[in-house]
Chain A
């Protein structure tokens, strides 16, 4: 019990504060697929933009190309918030859509509940990188097929085949403009994450 510590708290110890547990879900997908719209639909705050410096020691995909250089990039992300109960606060981060940032996601993904990968069926290729990323790192994810007007309707199995989705990965038809639809997508993700953690 040093005296310096006593000086900081002269009268009495600070009152106990309720333990708050932050959680995060990533919203991923190609450029313009509706990530910002999704975050805005379910967030209780007006979506904000944050900048984060992402660092990567190496790309780490192929050892023959591994260079020990450190790469840093500043990326802007939209994010929103859902206060779940008096303790749990869920943050949604709309992750940068540009492919060159994919290998820098580890920091952002660490500790996440999981991810929603949004797909625009007119540009299905745009979400391959996200699907690969979360699958290879065993991060729970659901695919949300965002129903853009005028999209040709494909059967779920066709979409699953095209994306080479794991059989247990949920595929959800949704509309990023509709809060209820986005909430249901989040619920599908948490159910999936919970199922995986129970099975583990």
Chain B
């Protein structure tokens, strides 16, 4: 039996408190993104990246391919809450484009059309 990894959170070897990256903020100025929200770099703004702090620049760089908030948090070894603030700021400033889950209005799950495509995609594997 393999135990769950709840006792070994990522980033526990850090010296700097992780919320220092967000200057103590736990919320972004923009909207709160869900764990699975995917972001991609907005190509128009890559030249301005030199102005960003290193963690933010790292996020913009890694988002040359689509990555979720969860993946970014894991890659930076920070809790998702920290990644959420940094990513939210970058979306707000136009460095990143956010791709949000598309829910139906009532039950909250994806639409029938999307479920159908998901099923086709999984069956084709």
Contact = CB atoms under 8 A, between A and B. Distances in A.
A52 B99 contact: no
Interface in A64-104: 74-76, 78-79, 81-82, 84-85, 87-91, 93-94, 96-98
B112 to A, nearest CB: 5
A183 interface: yes
Looking at chain A's contact residues, is the secondary structure mostly helix, strand, loop, or mixed?
Answer: mixed
A78 B5 CA distance: 8
A60 interface: no
Q: In the complex, which range does the number of interface residues on chain B fall in? A: 35 or more
Interface in A168-200: 183, 186-187, 190-191, 193-194, 197-198, 200
Interface in B96-111: 97, 99-104, 106-111
A129 to B, nearest CB: 15
Given A21-B99, A22-B100, A190 B35 contact: no
A72 B3 CA distance: 23
Interface string B19-40: 0000000000000001111101
B66 A97 contact: no
Contact of A51 (B10, B43, B119): B10
B6 A75 contact: yes
A113 B115 contact: yes
Nearest to A21: B102
B94 interface: yes
Given A14-B42, A24-B36, A187-B122, A31 B70 contact: no
A58 interface: no
Given A49-B9, A74-B9, A194 B68 contact: no
Given A22-B37, A52-B80, A84 B121 contact: yes
A96 B100 contact: no
B35 A23 contact: no
A50 B80 contact: yes
A14 B44 CA distance: 5
A194 B99 contact: no
A163 interface: no
Interface in B1-20: 1-6, 8-11
Q: Which of A24, A32, A96, A97 has the most CB of B within 10 A?
A: A24
A37 interface: yes
